[in-house]
Structure 1
Amino acid sequence: MENKSIESLINENFVYAKVLDFFGVEFYESRNKTLKEVCAEHNLSSEQLSAVLENSRSERAMDFLALRKCPVELVIAYLKHSHQVFIKDALPFLLKTVNRLNGGTTSVLKEDLKMILPMFVEDFIKHIYEEEDKFFAYILDLDSYLTEPNSRNPLLDRDDFSIQEFALHHHDSDDEMAGIRGITNSYSLVDLQDVQLKVILQELKAFDDKLQVHARIENDILFPKAMELEKRAKALFRTKVIQN
C-alpha cells in the first residue's frame, strides 16, 4: 500500500481524501506521489492513516429501532450531535475541496458546484439552527411541563406554533439535495477522470445518504413523539384549568 499513488488509493476508497486532509495533506496536490512519499514529507506513518481510516469505516448510525425506544430528549440529543457533525466535519471539507477546483474538461460542473454548494450550505445551516431554536426547544419545554410540576406551560408562550404544521413544512423541504443531485446526475462517476471531482461527488452522495437517514429519524420517530407530547400537554392544561 505504501508504494501506491495517492490518486490510486483514493480511487479505491474516497474516504482516504478526508483522512489525508485530517492530517493536513492536500490530496489533490499530492495525487501523483506515493503514500510512502507523503508520509515522509508530513512526518506520518501509514499505521496512523490506517487507524483513522478504520475508525471512519467503523462509524455507524445508531440503530433505528433502538432510537425509537429512547425518550424524546435522547432523540433530540442524537439529532443535535448529527447536526454538529454535518456543520463541523462534512460541510467544511466539501466547501474546501470545491473551492480549490480548477478548470478542465468538466469545468461547467465545477463552476456549478462552486456557485451552488456555498448557497446550499448557508441555507442548510440556517435551517438547522432554526429547527433547534424553535422546534427542538419547544419539544423539550413540553417534556419539562409534563415531568416537572412547577415548569411553565410552553403552550401559553407559543400558542402560534403547531407541531403538525411544522411537520408538514418539514416534509415539503426534506429533499434539500435535489438541486445538487440534479447537476451531478445523481453523483455519477461515469467517464469521470478528475480525482477531485470523484472525491466531491462521493462525499456529496455520502452526505445525501446521511441526510435521508436523518430525515427518517425526524419524520418517523421525533415527530410522532412530539405530537404525543403536545397532545398530553394540552390535556394536562385543560385539567389544570378545570381544577382552578
Structure 2
Amino acid sequence: MNTLESKTVADLVTENIQTAHVFKKYGIDFCCGGGISVKRAAEKAAIRYEDLEKDLLGVENTTGRTNNYNSWKLDFLTDHIINVHHAYVQENIPLIYQYALRVVRVHGSNYPELVQIQRLFSEISRELRAHLKKEEEILFPFIKKMVKAKKEGTDFSPPDFGTVDNRIKMMETEHEEAGGILRQISALSNKYIPPQEACNTFRAFYAKLEEFEQDLHQHVHLENNILFPKALNLEKKLSVV
C-alpha cells in the first residue's frame, strides 16, 4: 500500500487544505467523516481510486498562509475560528433565511422540496447558534486557559464541566448532526442545482446554501482535525505535570 493510499482524508486536508477542494469535487466528507483512509473514501464514493489519487497528487504543495493551520498556536486558531467561521454563520443565517422565505412563498407550490429545505435550514440555524455560544463561552476560553498555563508554567485547574474530552465529544456529536442536516438539504436541492427556469432569487438561495455548507466543512475540519486533538493532548500534558 502506498503512502497516500494509507493516509486518512483528515490527515491530507490537515497537511494541505487545498486537498479539500479535491475531496469536495468527488463528494467526499473531509470533516466529520475524515477519519477513513483515502482508499476507503474512494470506495464509499464509488469512484476510481486512481482518479482520486491523480487529482490529490496534482495539488500544488504551496506554503501559503492557508496551508499553515496545523502550525498555528491554539489560542490564535480559536480566535481565527470565531472571527472567520463563527462570524460567517452569524452574518449569513439571516440572509439565507430571507431568501428561503421569499423563494418558498413564490415557488413553494411548484417545488415542495423548498418547504423542507426551509424547515431544515431553520433547524440547523437554531442548533448552530447554540453550538457557537457553547464554544465561545465555555470550550474555547478553557483551551486558551490551558495555553496560558503551559506558556507561563502556572497551575492548571480542571474545568467545572469535567474534562475537555467530555466537552469536545459533545461538540463533535453536534458537528455530525449539523452535517447530516446539510446532507439532507444538498439532496433535496439536487446538490444546489436550481431548476433551469429558476429566477435569480432562487439561484442566489441555492448558491448561498452551497457556500454555507462549504464554510461549515472548513470550520468543522479546523476543529475536529486540528484544534480538538491538540487541545486533548495539551490537557494530558498539563494533567501529568
Q: TM-score, normalised by structure 2?
A: 0.63
Q: Is the 8 A contact 1:192 1:198 kept in 2?
A: no
Aligned equivalents of 1:174 and 1:63: distance in 2?
A: 28
- Which residue of structure 2 lines up, in the alignment, with residue 84 of structure 1? 87
Indicate the structure (1 or 2) with the bigger Cα radius of gyration.
Answer: 1
Q: Which moved more, 1:164-173 or 1:197-206?
A: 164-173
Q: Which moved more, 1:170-179 or 1:191-200?
A: 170-179
Residue 78 of structure 1 deviates from its aligned partner by 0.5
Query: Deviation above 4 Å: which 4+ runs of structure 1?
Result: none
Matched, 1:180 2:190: no
Q: TM-score, normalised by structure 1?
A: 0.62
Give the direction of change, closer, same or farther, for the CA distance of 1:201–1:194 in structure 2 (3 Å limit): same
Matched, 1:213 2:218: yes
Q: Is the 8 A contact 1:138 1:154 kept in 2?
A: no
Q: Which moved more, 1:175-184 or 1:123-132?
A: 175-184
Q: Deviations over 1:157-209 (max 9, x none)?
A: 34354256346535633514122223212212243422211110011001111
Give the direction of change, closer, same or farther, for the CA distance of 1:231–1:170 in structure 2 (3 Å limit): farther
Unmatched 5+ stretches in structure 1? 1-61, 237-244
- Root-mean-square deviation (CA, aligned residues, Å) is 2.5
Matched, 1:100 2:105: no
Q: Which moved more, 1:223-232 or 1:96-105?
A: 96-105
Residue 233 of structure 1 deviates from its aligned partner by 1.0
Which amino acid in structure 2 is aligned with residue 76 of structure 1?
Answer: T
Matched, 1:154 2:178: no
- Which residue of structure 2 lines up, in the alignment, with residue 228 of structure 1? 233
- Which residue of structure 2 lines up, in the alignment, with residue 141 of structure 1? 145
Which amino acid in structure 2 is aligned with residue 154 of structure 1?
Answer: S
Give the direction of change, closer, same or farther, for the CA distance of 1:168–1:84 in structure 2 (3 Å limit): closer
Aligned equivalents of 1:68 and 1:215: distance in 2?
A: 14
Say which SS state the counterpart of residue 162 (structure 1) adopts.
Answer: helix
Q: Is the 8 A contact 1:177 1:208 kept in 2?
A: yes
Matched, 1:113 2:117: yes
Q: Percent identity?
A: 17
Aligned equivalents of 1:110 and 1:124: distance in 2?
A: 21
- Which residue of structure 2 lines up, in the alignment, with residue 67 of structure 1? 69
Residue 226 of structure 1 deviates from its aligned partner by 0.7
Q: Is the 8 A contact 1:145 1:154 kept in 2?
A: no
Say which SS state the counterpart of residue 188 (structure 1) adopts.
Answer: coil
Q: Deviations over 1:85-144 (max 9, x none)?
A: 2202x2121112222232346341333333332222111111111222232122112212
Give the direction of change, closer, same or farther, for the CA distance of 1:77–1:119 in structure 2 (3 Å limit): same
